[in-house]
């Protein structure tokens, strides 16, 4: 069950003591505490905290992020996500400033961290429909391309230099062909879930036969898509949701961003439902000095639909097993056929066949 942090005074008192100590303040007081609508994996709370004394005295608009009751396999915990936010910020990516991490479950019951609250809207269906959000769309797509390039500028070597006092050993070292590692992992997930899922096997087999070793291994966000960034009336304000970040092939993030399943119904705007691919690619190429490889992106889009279908099956299984009863998780299981249909169509296109 979800703990109602907003209603638990003892929890809030412990939270205040933690924040005061972490910020070097004499006292911390909570002004407001309200849930934010987040993903199925974590809970986000909007918290206003007043600090008395110390270098950070004053009022702070924050977000508290903690694990929800259950997690998806392969997602990082909050301590790792805090480290990734620190790394992304050091690399110049627009992210909320990470402030204080608390790994001690005695404070609020689970690990959590606090970051500065960035104004904006993340909901994908709203951003796609409401053109008053995010500023001119080509500029937004181009900016997103540049942000992604900044993420991909981080390598295992530069990452260690950017945040020298932090270990990133929790990021599994990438092999020469991260795509093949993924295929093995997803087959294991499918076997665990029980099946059969012949259309997903069709996709996995195609990915296996067409995989190529990565030319370079960089930090990839792994969930870089509309719905996971914040915009205000002018443009982008932050890139969110770092819990899947990994070392991998840069084109896989490009494919994920452009995949039809993340266009929120605006399927003709192939860059995340907000713009054509051209401005997104332009921003990415200009900032990265790397050429977009359309074949690798197409591969990435097939991999994206396979991955989302496997996660959707896992989310439905969490509901079905009773681990987390939820209509949202249950309905997620029913998006699998449309994902499979797109996998079949993308493979047909790659093989030069009309659907």
The footprint of another protein (CB under 8 A) covers: 187, 195-199, 201-202, 204-205, 209, 327-328, 330-331, 334-338, 340-341, 344-345, 348, 355
Q: Which is nearer to another protein, 26 or 184 (CB)?
A: 184
CA–CA separation, 316 and 209 (whole Å): 29
H/E stretch holding 101 reads: strand 98-102
Least CB distance to another protein at residue 225 (A):
18
Q: What Rg value do the Cα atoms of the chain yield, rounded? A: 21
Q: Which is nearer to another protein, 58 or 265 (CB)?
A: 265
CA distances from 267 to 90, 105, 274, 328, 347 (A): 34, 43, 9, 23, 18
Nearest partner of 36 among 108, 99, 123, judged by Cα: 123
Q: Which is nearer to another protein, 50 or 201 (CB)?
A: 201
Least CB distance to another protein at residue 327 (A):
5
CA–CA separation, 21 and 17 (whole Å): 6
Least CB distance to another protein at residue 344 (A):
6
Least CB distance to another protein at residue 323 (A):
19
Q: Which is nearer to another protein, 209 or 291 (CB)?
A: 209
Which residues, at least 6 apart from 114, have a Cβ–Cβ distance to it below 8 Å?
A: 19, 47, 62, 63, 64, 65, 99, 100
Q: Which is nearer to another protein, 121 or 199 (CB)?
A: 199
Least CB distance to another protein at residue 122 (A):
14
Least CB distance to another protein at residue 36 (A):
11
CA–CA separation, 257 and 144 (whole Å): 10
Axis crossing angle, helix 336-350 with helix 294-320, rounded to the nearest 10: 160
Q: Which is nearer to another protein, 204 or 302 (CB)?
A: 204
């Amino acid at each position: 069950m979800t703990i109602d942090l907003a209603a638990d005074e003892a929890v809030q008192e412990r939270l205040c003591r933690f924040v005061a100590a972490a910020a070097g303040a004499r006292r911390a007081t909570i002004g407001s505490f309200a849930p934010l609508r987040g993903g199925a994996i974590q809970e986000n709370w909007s918290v206003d905290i007043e600090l008395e004394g110390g270098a950070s005295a004053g009022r702070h608009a924050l977000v508290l992020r903690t694990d929800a009751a259950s997690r998806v396999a392969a997602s990082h915990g909050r301590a790792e996500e805090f480290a990734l936010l620190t790394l992304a910020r050091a690399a110049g990516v627009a992210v909320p400033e990470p402030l204080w991490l608390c790994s001690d479950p005695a404070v609020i019951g689970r690990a959590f961290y606090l970051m500065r609250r960035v104004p904006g809207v993340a909901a994908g269906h709203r951003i796609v429909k409401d053109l008053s959000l995010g500023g001119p769309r080509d500029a937004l797509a181009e900016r997103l391309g540049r942000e992604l390039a900044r993420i991909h500028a981080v390598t295992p070597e530069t990452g260690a230099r950017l945040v020298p006092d932090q270990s990133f050993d929790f990021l599994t070292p990438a092999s020469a062909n991260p795509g093949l590692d993924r295929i093995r992992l997803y087959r294991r997930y499918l076997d665990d879930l029980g099946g059969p899922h012949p259309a997903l096997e069709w996709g996995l087999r195609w990915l296996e036969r067409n995989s190529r070793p990565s030319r370079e291994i960089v930090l990839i966000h792994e969930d870089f898509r509309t719905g996971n960034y914040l915009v205000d009336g002018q443009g982008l304000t932050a890139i969110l949701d770092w819990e899947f970040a990994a070392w991998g092939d840069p084109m896989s993030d490009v494919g994920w961003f452009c995949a039809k399943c993340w266009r929120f119904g605006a399927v003709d705007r192939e860059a995340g439902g907000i713009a054509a691919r051209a401005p997104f690619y332009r921003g990415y190429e200009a900032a990265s000095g790397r050429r977009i490889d359309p074949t690798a992106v197409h591969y990435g889009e097939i991999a994206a639909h396979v991955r989302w279908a496997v996660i959707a099956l896992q989310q439905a299984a969490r509901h079905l097993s009773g681990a987390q009863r939820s209509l949202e998780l249950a309905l997620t299981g029913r998006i699998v056929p449309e994902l499979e249909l797109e996998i079949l169509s993308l493979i047909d296109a790659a093989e030069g066949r009309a659907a």
